[in-house]
Amino acid sequence: MLKKTLSLAALMILLVSCNQKGTSKITTEDMKVAEAKNVLAGKLPKLELDKLVHDFGTINEGDVVETEFIVTNSGEADLVIADAKGSCGCTVPQPPKEPIKPGDSAPIKVSFDSNGKPGQQSKTVTLTTNTAEGKETFEIKANVTPKTK
């Protein structure tokens, strides 16, 4: 059993080291390999956010506002954010493209376009990660004053 596990780990490392893709986007396969290596070693990343909600307060319809959430890796392995999606097209997250080392932090910029979104707004951002949970979410809010007609 141990030989089989070590052989699998060596194969995964070989596959990762031979991966010569010309893109900086982290693939699902990269996530699976990183997760398998970390699980075999008994080490996982842990994502911590400086806040779970950001309230822009009252803004005018048509304003594009931006904030940053600081993500910290308090785990024992590199934290990989493979994907970040807003709950609608008006919410655009920009996660770090490189893995976050244990103990390090990085910003995730989030912009919100209030055009066509009058009233109280609440949008979520979902991160796909290599943590034990696999998904992390946080929220932005705003009270959008409608355009005068």
Per the rule left: phi > 0, alpha: psi between -120 and 50, beta: everything else, 14 is alpha
From residue 62, give the alpha-carbon distance in Å to each of 66, 104, 121, 123, 125: 13, 36, 13, 16, 20
Please work out, in degrees rounded to the nearest 5, the angle formed at the alpha carbon of residue 140 by the alpha carbons of 125 and 100.
50
pLDDT of amino acid 148 = 84
The pLDDT of residue 22? 39
Three-state SS at 93: strand
Tell me the pLDDT tens digit for each residue of 50-97: 999 999 999 999 999 999 999 999 999 999 999 999 999 999 999 999
Read off the pTM: 0.71
Q: Do residues 30 and 78 make contact, with C-beta atoms less than 8 angstroms apart?
A: no
- What tens digit of pLDDT does each residue of 99-129 get? 999 999 999 999 999 999 999 999 999 999 9
Tell me, what DSSP letter sits at residue 79? B
Measured CA to CA, the distance from residue 19 to residue 108 in angstroms comes to 26
- The tens digit of pLDDT for each residue in 17-42 reads 444 443 456 676 766 666 656 555 66
Sign of the alpha-carbon torsion through 14, 19, 24, 25: negative
How many CB atoms sit inside 10 A of residue 4's CB? 8
Q: What distance in Å separates the CA atoms of residue 5 and residue 138, rounded to the nearest whole number?
A: 36
Alpha helices per DSSP H over the chain: 2-17, 28-41
What is the rounded CA–CA span in Å between residue 121 and residue 138?
14
- pLDDT computed for residue 15 by the predictor: 45
Q: What pLDDT does residue 43 have?
A: 87
